[in-house]
Homo-oligomer: A and B are copies of this chain.
Amino acid sequence: MATCAVYTTPSLHSCSITIPAKTSSGFHRRQVIVFTSKRITERGGRRTSEVSCSAEEAKTVVIGLAADSGCGKSTFMRRLTSVFGGAAEPPKGGNPDSNTLISDTTTVICLDDYHSLDRTGRKEKGVTALDPRANNFDLMFEQVKALKHGVAVDKPIYNHVTGLLDPPELIRPPKILVIEGLHPMFDPRVRQLLDFSIYLDISNEVKFAWKIQRDMAERGHSLESIKASIEARKPDFDAYIDPQKQHADAVIEVLPTQLIPGDNEGKVLRVRLIMKEGLQHFSPVYLFDEGSTISWIPCGRKLTCSYPGINFAYGPDTYYSNEVSVLEMDGQFDRLDELIYVESHLSNLSTKFYGEVTQQLLKHSDFPGSNNGTGLFQTIVGLKIRDLYEQIVAERAAAVAEAAKV
């Protein structure tokens, strides 16, 4: 790390860091120039300023999204990139089996690309893709770190069709980098690079209902084989994936509804958005009265809803010893007026205009979960990430302007 301290000089200062071109870790030569005003103090009536230039200085905002396979990460990513205004598409002219999605502002990389063992290798060693031993966390850390600091990388591609590792693709540093997959918060070094982290926590009952719907109804698998595949996956999932949620800044929990006694179809869902308190660029959404405990059935005199209705809950709680706020929605929206009514009673949404949440959900009404808490909370988290990004950018701009003045 290179640091320069400067006292009351009129000119701008810069420091450049050179990273070797095309290393084995896949880095690209790039000059990094950073100005950051760290401290301004009065020394005998004279303003002094310390400007530090550091390779540690971030340029890209990095978001981590963890969830099991097939649990809605890609829908979430499409909602997130939509909030930023552009459509996310695979890299143009590259490997057609690339897992990457790129929009104007955002690049989403799939952490399966850091598998150190391909399908055959995993079979031979008897490890699942969930097992850390099947993943290269050193490379994941180095490449995410490089991207965060504005350095392009040659990222491997795990081909989900062939089960093999394909030749790498060039990833340029975006404004927002999303790393999504099984292990974004597993390695402490990678975790430290995240500006915000989300865990999609699908309860076993709902996971089972979803798998039955997809694998049995659509792919003709037997109930027994579905049960067996879930059971086989469970030990590694519980050991390596699930514990990451304690590190997440936001958790979206998906549970069976409580509105229909004994329901296990997984069609009507109870969804909880667990938001960490005390973060610098993230203030939790709340319902009516911040920090109190509330339950709310919006359906009543002003709003009528069909069976089984809609229930909201909000309140403070603790989650793995962290102070959190929890917003919960049970049930689903039938009509637009229900959605806008609910939006109008939520606060701290980080929308840019009245009805933006509703607009986003309507725009993508074909995405799974657009009529329930998964879609609502994914959209809200997308808006909060946009807000977080804008806060970080504004702070950097202010720091640069401050440094320029000095």
Partner of A315, one of B294, B297, B303, B345: B297
Whether A296 lies near B292 (C-beta < 8 A) is: yes
Whether A294 lies near B292 (C-beta < 8 A) is: no
Among residues of B, the one whose C-beta sits closest to the C-beta of A315 is: B300
Partner of A301, one of B288, B299, B301, B316: B316
Whether A302 lies near B291 (C-beta < 8 A) is: yes
- 0 or 1 for each of A288-323: is its CB under 8 Å from B? (1 = yes): 111111111111111100000000000110000000
Among residues of B, the one whose C-beta sits closest to the C-beta of A288 is: B288
Partner of A288, one of B290, B296, B303, B315: B296
Whether B298 lies near A289 (C-beta < 8 A) is: yes
> A300-B315, A301-B316, A315-B300 are contacts. A294–B291 as well, Cβ < 8 Å?
no
Whether B302 lies near A292 (C-beta < 8 A) is: yes
Among residues of B, the one whose C-beta sits closest to the C-beta of A301 is: B291
This protein's copies in its complex: 2
- Contact residues of A between 256 and 301, Cβ < 8 Å to B: 288-301
CA–CA, A298 to B315, complex, Å?
10
CA–CA, A143 to B382, complex, Å?
69
A290: B residues at CB distance < 8 A:
301-302
Most chain B CB neighbours (cut-off 10 Å) among A292, A299, A303, A345: A292
A302: B residues at CB distance < 8 A:
289-292
CA–CA, A298 to B316, complex, Å?
11
Most chain B CB neighbours (cut-off 10 Å) among A290, A291, A293, A302: A293
CA–CA, A256 to B302, complex, Å?
32
- Rounded to whole Å, the gap between the CB of A337 and the closest CB of chain B is 14
Among residues of B, the one whose C-beta sits closest to the C-beta of A302 is: B291
- Rounded to whole Å, the gap between the CB of A283 and the closest CB of chain B is 13
Whether A298 lies near B303 (C-beta < 8 A) is: no
Among residues of B, the one whose C-beta sits closest to the C-beta of A323 is: B301
Most chain B CB neighbours (cut-off 10 Å) among A289, A300, A345: A289
How many residues on chain A are close to B (CB under 8 Å)? 19
- Rounded to whole Å, the gap between the CB of A24 and the closest CB of chain B is 50
- Rounded to whole Å, the gap between the CB of A170 and the closest CB of chain B is 47
CA–CA, A298 to B297, complex, Å?
17
Among residues of B, the one whose C-beta sits closest to the C-beta of A345 is: B289
- Contact residues of A between 221 and 268, Cβ < 8 Å to B: none
A316: B residues at CB distance < 8 A:
300-301
- Rounded to whole Å, the gap between the CB of A120 and the closest CB of chain B is 53
Whether A294 lies near B296 (C-beta < 8 A) is: yes
A301: B residues at CB distance < 8 A:
290-292, 316
A297: B residues at CB distance < 8 A:
292-294, 315
Whether B300 lies near A296 (C-beta < 8 A) is: no
A294: B residues at CB distance < 8 A:
288, 294-297
A289: B residues at CB distance < 8 A:
288, 296, 298, 302, 345
Whether A293 lies near B292 (C-beta < 8 A) is: no
- Rounded to whole Å, the gap between the CB of A215 and the closest CB of chain B is 39
CA–CA, A31 to B299, complex, Å?
54
Among residues of B, the one whose C-beta sits closest to the C-beta of A277 is: B301
A315: B residues at CB distance < 8 A:
297, 300
- 0 or 1 for each of A129-156: is its CB under 8 Å from B? (1 = yes): 0000000000000000000000000000
CA–CA, A67 to B222, complex, Å?
68
Whether A295 lies near B298 (C-beta < 8 A) is: no
CA–CA, A288 to B295, complex, Å?
11
- Rounded to whole Å, the gap between the CB of A270 and the closest CB of chain B is 17
CA–CA, A380 to B294, complex, Å?
23
- Rounded to whole Å, the gap between the CB of A152 and the closest CB of chain B is 44
Among residues of B, the one whose C-beta sits closest to the C-beta of A293 is: B297
A-B pairs with lowest CB-CB distance, top 7: A291-B301, A293-B297, A292-B300, A288-B288, A291-B300, A295-B295, A291-B302
Q: What are 7 of the A-B contact pairs (CB < 8 Å)?
A: A289-B296, A291-B302, A292-B297, A292-B303, A293-B300, A294-B295, A300-B315
